[in-house]
Amino acid sequence: MALLLLLLWTGDYSAKVRWTVVLFAVGAWLIGAFAVRERVIRPLQTIANMIAALREDDFSIRARGASLQDDLGLAFLELNALGETLRQQRLGAQEATALLRRVMVEIDVAVFAFDETETVRLVNRAGARLLAQPPERLIGRRAGELGLAPCLRGDTAAVRDLTFAGRAGRYGLRRSGFRQGGRPHTLLVMADVSRALREEERQAWQRLIRVLGHEINNSLAPVKSVAQSLQSAAARGAARPEDLTTGLALIAGRAEALSRFMNAYARLARLPRPKPAPLDVETWVRRVAALEQRLSVAVESGPPVTIEADGDQLDQLLINLVRNAADAALQAGGAHVEVAWRRENGALDVVVKDDGPGLPDSGNLFVPFFTTKPSGTGIGLALSRQIAEGHGGTVTLANRADGKGCEAHLRLPLGHDLKPEGAREDYSG
């Protein structure tokens, strides 16, 4: 434009020509400027509007002119793709939230969410029913007002006796933390386990009564029969000293057997909590293996391992396993018992193998008082399993896959954190 004006005013042109050209040139310049402005400013405004819509969670707007042929069209294309992605994500989140709300409403477990001030921020229908109040009256109230403060203290998983709305019961509690809006919250889940526990207790009592009744009747029946025979003989004056001696010996023997049975049951029911202390596995295994005097127990050395466990209880556990293996081996005419240990998947695996007849039926092996031995009490394996579970482990028995006999596996977690002895928990058979 400057060059055009310079040529016009320095050249030999009339004023009419000069002003006509200037007007056309300025008009063309203005038209071109507005056209360029439309090609630049309008797309930038469109981009700004789309970003504002995305910020406002409006994912329905799409930009026209999305194309791979120019940079602004490529920007439109990416913004459209971003909007569609966010729309799909929001739809998925809404569907997941709707499902979660439906589950929260339908499950028969009380769920509460508390913020850092222990104020209720969320409660489901079961929670409102537990407290006998509508949900809208519970939101915004403190846990202490609702009697839930004790549930936010102590162990994160526990069973407690609680009373709500005048109804007492036993509740299983689980507590965990989460963050919402950058603030810490607590999720409390409560389930009424009274009915289930009563049913388990009833079944346990039935099993106990059946076992005790069976054993006591087995002892009392011959005692009653012998006593009646001796009484009848004494009434006739035909009681001989040797008959009295034999009868009284039988009565004493049955009384002693019944006493052993009751002592064994008391031992099973009163197993104390483990007292953890460092225990060298090789020393422990070799010490127990040396206690078996009827045959030589082979010890296969494994990796050096030290665990935190109750040495006395693990001694009793391994003694039971080695003794059972020795009994099986001697019963079948064999004489080979082997003990080995190894690390496996973060756990200690102690294996006791024998060359006995194997297991005919493993379904009742850990049932208290079930035994296949003529003089057995049926306590050893049940007690061994309780000791293992008290240490966070397991005991399993199975027939050997590499030959005749049975193998017992004792698995104990390495680094398991045992509960202190002061914590009360009953071990029941």
Taking only the tens place, the pLDDT of each residue in 252-270 is: 877 776 776 677 666 656 6
Question: Is residue 79 located within the same domain as residue 16?
Answer: yes
For residues 132 and 17, membership in a common domain is answered with no
Spatial contact of 284 and 412, defined as CB atoms under 8 Å apart: no
Q: Which of 58, 74, 97 is the last residue of a domain?
A: 97
* Domain co-membership, 229 together with 330: no
Rounded distance, CA 79 to CA 62, Å?
A: 8
HSE (CB half, 13 Å, CA atoms) of 71? 3
Banded pLDDT at 426 (limits 50, 70, 90): very low
Q: Which domain holds residue 310?
A: 277-413
> Per-residue pLDDT tens for 30-75?
888 888 887 778 888 888 888 888 888 888 888 877 777 777 788 8
Domain count, the chain: 4
Q: Is the pLDDT of residue 416 over 50?
A: no
Answer yes or no: do 305 and 356 share one domain.
yes
In a domain, 230, yes or no: yes
**Distance (Å, rounded) from C-alpha 36 to C-alpha 28?**
12
Q: Which of 218, 212, 164 is nearest to 191 (CA)?
A: 164
* Mean of pLDDT over the chain: 80
CATH number of the domain within which 251 lies = 1.10.287
Residue 425: band (very low, low, confident or very high) from pLDDT cuts 50, 70, 90? very low
Q: Are the C-beta atoms of 211 and 368 separated by less than 8 Å?
A: yes
Scored b (16 or more CB within 10 A) or e, 9-31 reads eeeeeeeeeeeeeeeeeeeeeee
**Predicted local distance difference test score (pLDDT) of residue 214:** 62
- Return left, alpha or beta for 140; rule: phi > 0 is left, psi -120 to 50 is alpha, else beta: left
Indicate if 260 and 225 belong to the same structural domain.
Answer: yes
Residue 198 burial (10 A CB sphere; 0-12, 13-18, 19+): exposed
Which of 13-17, 25-29, 34-38, 350-354 has the highest mean predicted lDDT (pLDDT)?
350-354
Residue 271 and residue 263: Cα distance in Å, rounded? 12
**Is the domain of 382 the same as that of 297?**
yes
What pLDDT score does 186 carry?
Answer: 92
Element (H, E) at 313: helix 311-331
The reply to whether 399 and 295 lie within a common domain is yes
- Evaluate whether residue 216 is within a structural domain: yes
Residues 122, 92 within the same domain? no
Rounded CA gap, 211 and 258, in Å? 12
- 418 in a structural domain: no
pLDDT confidence tier of residue 20, bands split at 50, 70 and 90: confident
- Is 60 exceeded by the pLDDT of residue 422? no
Residue located via tokens 């439109």? 76
Helix (H, G, I), strand (E, B) or coil at 258: helix
149 in a domain, yes or no?
Answer: yes
Is the CB of residue 312 less than 8 Å from the CB of residue 337? no
